């Protein structure tokens, strides 16, 4: 359940986002509450009566201009197009770890299961060390990147 991010303006009873410091309907400063309002809260009226006119009509000078909205929306759309740096780092780590582990296992397979220096698939055991040497840096770099994220 998402917490509501709105509050009621103390002057016009308009629904206002918590991010605004001024009411977009009546323009009053929402960061300060008048002392008479704190000591004598306004009585609740009929809940079925129409909202005050000032609460339904936005004031002329909005806090956010149309150009600012467009820039914010464009920034949001452009940031959604490219994956975050975290995803890129994890992808690079996996691309390094997977072949490194495969080469390492293949090298161990050649070392332990070769018959007279030759694996049953006719791979020469002398190449096992090259696979192992190629696997170690890949595993090290992949592990280092994965741990730093």
| Res. 7: pLDDT tops 90 | no
pLDDT score at 39:
52
Tally of CA atoms within 13 A in the half-sphere of 35 that contains its CB: 0
Q: What is the pLDDT of residues 50-74, one digit of tens each?
A: 555 554 455 555 566 677 777 777 7
| Whether the predicted model's global pTM rises above the 0.75 cut | no
Which range has the worst mean pLDDT, 52-61, 92-101, 108-117, 131-140? Answer: 52-61
Average pLDDT over residues 2-9: 72
- The closest alpha carbon to 47, from 16, 18, 23, 13, belongs to 13
The tokens for 5 are 């991010």
Q: Would residue 19 be called left, alpha or beta, if left means φ above 0 and alpha means ψ between -120 and 50 degrees?
A: alpha
């Amino acid at each position: 359940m998402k917490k509501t991010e709105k509050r009621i303006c103390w002057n016009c009873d308009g629904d206002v986002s918590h991010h605004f410091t001024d009411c977009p309907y009546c323009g009053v400063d929402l960061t300060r509450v008048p002392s008479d309002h704190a000591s004598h809260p306004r009585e609740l009226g009929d809940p079925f009566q129409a909202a005050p006119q000032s609460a339904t009509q936005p004031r002329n000078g909005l806090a956010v201009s149309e150009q600012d909205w467009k820039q914010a929306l464009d920034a949001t759309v452009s940031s959604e197009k490219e994956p975050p740096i975290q995803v890129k780092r994890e992808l690079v780590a996996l691309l390094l770890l997977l072949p490194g582990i495969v080469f390492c296992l293949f090298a161990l397979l050649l070392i332990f299961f070769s018959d007279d220096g030759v694996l049953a698939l006719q791979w020469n055991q002398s190449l096992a060390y090259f696979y192992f040497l190629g696997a170690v840096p890949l595993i090290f770099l992949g592990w280092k990147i994965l741990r730093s994220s």
